[in-house]
């Protein structure tokens, strides 16, 4: 900074930013790839002036100096262009000459990304490393009194049920009398949660669908994927692959015009309908697809004009109470498919979850309840919603399960848990912990993006620009120049890898517990934690 350069409150130095670009002049070939690839234009080619001294060792000879210039990379400090740490520059650099590094102290940028009075919005996650799920251990190891099983060679039946299950007496009676038995799907307990066509790029979506189809049709693993709120491509709606898909309806009803029109032409029923009332990443806030991502294709599927932001209302606008919102919607959606498709609500983790659950227990059409905890991810939300709103999943799920146990309906309404499952990479351990706390299955989103497509997000505020359609990996972008970076078949391959490895790890957890005949839902005696308060809260063993 020159001495006479004006300082404004928002004048920041590179040091004040969360990420600093380290650039090595000696290695750089000035090829320009890094500046071209940077999604936020945080770096630009620059000319640097440099003064060179030449001090001779010959006595009496005066030193000389010369001014030179050299070319290189400069990091911009304007908050609008702050580096997001995605390291796309590093990825493309032929000589490994450039890399963003995390600042060694808390950044000052956070106080300034609200220009024009607009608070920060972003995609991604809560950016809170750690969490209770990783602390839970599986302590009931089969030793001598019953043999531990061979995870590699024993037979396992690790399926779960999605749908309203009748009490045995009632089920037997209806079977005998040929009465209506609510639809129940036998599915794999790891579900790809709702990420919309629009939030995700076409290549990402296609890759996920392809991977799920392969898992079902070639490997016999009944994996299901939820569409999120954005409708479903017309050809998929009319194909047999729809049976692997959970269609989501949310408060914006995006895409449902297309879905309803496709109803008479559907070859098969969808797996289920998920009514989204809330999302763990931004509870009480509706979905949001920012205008950057609403191109012609997305606009067509969603039935909206191009280039406008699509904020879904925080709640279903035609409904004003839980009776309206839950009971009537569940019944309407059930009726649309002739009561052949399970319909269940998804809510964000909240201290009022039990009130919702209690309502569902009395609704004979409610097929389950999905609860999305505070660690869930999103394509776009306000920073404050993501970081500070919501309820952790573990205790919310546990309370819900124990409530069902109390009223004896633990087998009737399956609970699905989401939000931060595998956020530190421990997918199978987190999923198994939730299942043993009472979940019938778990939903994942961010983990799929990371494992199947190489999402760069971390729990340290890296990248997080899903909202503006500039995803450097092409996962959440609608710009063909970006999403063509993502190879559809390779995403599918990674989806398959992810599920197969999860399956092996899940067996490695349940086999030592002596479980193989059924998914150990609610097997809380197997869980322990080294935190007395958490143990008491979750009603599991405190172990040190």
Residue ranges of the binding site for [4Fe-4S] cluster: 83, 86, 89, 93
CB of 286 to other proteins, least distance (A): 35
Only segment of 130-138, 247-255, 342-350, 518-526 that touches other proteins (CB under 8 A) = 518-526
Min. distance of Cβ 145 from other proteins in angstroms? Answer: 5
**396-415: b (≥16 Cβ within 10 Å) or e:** bbbbbbbbbeeeebbbbbbb
**Does 235 help bind other proteins (rule: CB under 8 A)?**
no
Q: Closest CB to other proteins among 288 and 442?
A: 442
**Quick one: 198 or 512, whose CB is closer to other proteins?**
512
* Single residue of 207, 420, 520, 528 touching other proteins by CB under 8 A: 520
Quote the least distance from Cβ 167 to other proteins, whole Å. 7
**In angstroms, rounded to a whole number, what is the distance separating the alpha carbons of residues 244 and 224?**
5
CB of 126 to other proteins, least distance (A): 31
Considering only residues 438 to 467 of the shown chain, the ones binding other proteins according to CB under 8 A are none
Span 63-122, contacts to other proteins by CB under 8 A: none
Least separation, in Å, of the C-beta of 464 and other proteins? 40
Could you tell me the smallest distance in angstroms from the CB atom of residue 269 to other proteins? 17
State the Cα angle at 46 between 45 and 47, rounded to 5°.
140
Strands 19-23 and 43-54: unpaired
The CA-based diameter of the chain, rounded to the nearest angstrom, is 114
**d(C-alpha 274, C-alpha 412), whole Å:** 17
Listing DSSP states for 292-309 in one string gives GG--HHHHHHHTS-TT--
Residues 478-517 that bind other proteins (CB under 8 A): 513-517
HSE at residue 491, side-chain half, CA atoms within 13 A, is 28
Nearest to other proteins of 158, 389 (CB atom): 158
Region at 216 (left for phi over 0; alpha for psi -120 to 50; beta for the rest):
alpha
* Closest to 67 measured CA to CA, from 46, 48, 55, 52: 52
Binding mask 414-433 for other proteins (x = CB under 8 A): --------------------
Write the DSSP assignment of 465-528 as a string of letters.
Answer: -GGGT--TTSSS---HHHHTTS-HHHHHHHHHHHHHHHHHHHHHHHTTTT--SS--TT-GGGEE
- Up-side HSE of residue 515: CA atoms within 13 Å toward CB? 22
In the bound complex, what is the minimum distance in angstroms from residue 404's beta carbon to other proteins? 9
Specify burial of residue 537 (Cβ count, 10 A radius: 0-12, 13-18, 19+). Answer: middle
Closest CA to 219 of 502, 496, 507, 501: 496
Minimum distance from residue 437 beta carbon to other proteins (Å): 11
Nearer to other proteins, 70 or 175 (CB): 175
Q: Which is nearer to other proteins, 93 or 149 (CB)?
A: 149
Return the sign of the alpha-carbon dihedral for residues 241, 439, 504, 161. negative
Which residues fall within 8 angstroms of residue 440, CB to CB, at 6 or more apart? Answer: 160, 161, 162, 189, 368, 414, 415, 416, 519, 521
For residues 28 and 529, which CB has a smaller minimum distance to other proteins in the complex? 529
Q: One symbol per residue from 245 to 284: x for binding other proteins (CB under 8 A), - otherwise; what is it?
A: ----------------------------------------
Binding-site residues sit at 83, 86, 89, 93
Out of 127, 331, 411, 493, which residue is the one contacting other proteins (CB under 8 A)? 411
What minimum distance in Å lies between the beta carbon of 177 and other proteins? 11
One residue of 518, 532, 536, 543 binding other proteins per CB under 8 A: 518
Minimum distance from CB of 220 to other proteins (Å)? 8
CB nearer to other proteins: give 92 or 181. 181
3-state secondary structure of 380: strand
Nearest distance in Å: CB 171, other proteins: 4
Q: What is the DSSP string of 398-427?
A: HHHHHHHHHHT-TTTS-EEEESSTTTTS-H
Binding part of the chain for other proteins, among 198-206, 238-246, 346-354, 520-528 by CB under 8 A, reads 520-528
Strands 369-372 and 415-418 come out as: parallel
Residue 24 or 170: the one with the smaller Cβ distance to other proteins is 170
Residues 371 to 410: which contact other proteins by CB under 8 A?
405-408, 410
Of the pair 507, 515, the CB lying nearest other proteins is at 515
Phi–psi pair at 529, nearest 5 degrees: -150, 145
Question: Could you say whether residue 522 binds other proteins (CB under 8 A)?
Answer: yes
> What number of CA atoms fall less than 13 Å from residue 531's CA on the CB side?
11
**Total residues at the site for other proteins (CB under 8 A)?**
42
Phi-psi region of 210 (alpha: psi -120 to 50; beta: other; left: phi over 0): alpha
Toward other proteins, which CB reaches closer, 119 or 167? 167
Q: Which of residues 129-188 bind other proteins (CB under 8 A)?
A: 140, 142, 145-147, 149, 154-155, 157, 159, 161, 165-172, 175-176, 181, 184, 186
Nearer to other proteins, 4 or 177 (CB): 177
Residues forming contacts to other proteins in the complex (CB under 8 A) are 140, 142, 145-147, 149, 154-155, 157, 159, 161, 165-172, 175-176, 181, 184, 186, 405-408, 410-411, 513-518, 520-525
């Amino acid at each position: 900074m020159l001495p006479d350069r004006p300082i404004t409150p928002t004048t920041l130095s590179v040091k004040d930013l969360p990420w600093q670009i380290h650039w090595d002049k000696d290695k750089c070939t000035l090829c320009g790839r890094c500046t071209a690839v940077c999604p936020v234009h945080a770096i630009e080619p620059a000319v640097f002036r440099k003064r060179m001294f030449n001090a001779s060792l010959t006595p009496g000879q005066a030193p000389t100096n010369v001014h030179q210039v050299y070319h290189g990379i400069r990091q911009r400090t304007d908050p609008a262009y702050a580096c997001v740490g995605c390291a796309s520059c590093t990825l493309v650099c032929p000589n490994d000459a450039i890399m963003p590094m995390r600042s060694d102290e808390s950044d000052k940028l956070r106080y300034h990304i609200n220009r024009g009075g607009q608070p920060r919005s972003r995609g991604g996650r809560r950016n809170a490393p750690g969490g209770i799920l990783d602390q839970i251990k599986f302590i009931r190891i089969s030793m001598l009194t019953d043999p531990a099983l061979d995870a590699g060679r024993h037979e396992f039946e690790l399926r779960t049920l999605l749908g309203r299950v009748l009490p045995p007496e009632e089920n037997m009676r209806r079977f005998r009398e040929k009465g209506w038995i609510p639809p129940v799907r036998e599915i794999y307990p790891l579900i790809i949660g709702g990420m919309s066509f629009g939030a995700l790029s076409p290549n990402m979506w296609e890759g996920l669908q392809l991977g799920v189809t392969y898992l079902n049709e070639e490997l016999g693993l009944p994996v299901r994927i939820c569409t999120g709120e954005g409708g479903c491509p017309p050809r998929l709606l009319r194909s047999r692959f729809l049976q692997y898909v959970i269609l989501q309806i949310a408060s914006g009803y995006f895409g449902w015009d297309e879905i309803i029109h496709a109803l008479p032409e559907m070859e098969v029923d969808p797996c289920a309908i998920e009514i989204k009332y809330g999302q763990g990443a931004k509870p009480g806030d509706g979905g949001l697809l920012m205008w950057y991502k609403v191109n012609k294709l997305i606009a067509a599927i969603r039935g909206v004009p191009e280039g406008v932001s699509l904020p879904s209302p925080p709640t279903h606008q035609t409904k004003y109470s839980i009776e309206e919102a839950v009971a009537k919607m569940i019944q309407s959606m059930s009726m649309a498919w002739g009561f052949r498709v399970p319909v269940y609500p998804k809510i964000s983790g909240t201290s009022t979850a039990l009130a919702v659950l209690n309502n569902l227990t009395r609704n004979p059409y409610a097929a389950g309840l999905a609860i999305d905890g505070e660690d869930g991810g999103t394509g776009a939300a306000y920073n404050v919603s993501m970081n500070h709103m919501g309820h952790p999943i573990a205790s919310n799920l546990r309370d819900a399960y124990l409530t069902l146990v109390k009223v004896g309906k633990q087998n009737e309404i399956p609970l699905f848990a989401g939000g931060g499952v595998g956020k530190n990479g421990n997918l199978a351990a987190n999923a198994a912990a939730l299942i043993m706390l009472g979940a019938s299955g778990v939903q994942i989103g961010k983990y799929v993006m990371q494992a199947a497509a190489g999402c760069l997000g971390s729990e340290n505020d890296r990248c997080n620009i899903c909202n503006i359609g500039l995803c450097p990996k092409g996962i959440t972008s609608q710009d063909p120049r970006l999403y063509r970076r993502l190879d559809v078949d390779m995403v599918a391959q990674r989806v398959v890898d992810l599920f197969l490895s999860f399956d092996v790890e899940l067996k490695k957890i349940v086999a030592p517990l002596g479980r193989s005949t059924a998914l150990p839902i609610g097997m809380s005696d197997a869980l322990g934690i080294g935190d007395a308060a958490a143990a008491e809260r979750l009603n599991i063993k405190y172990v040190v």
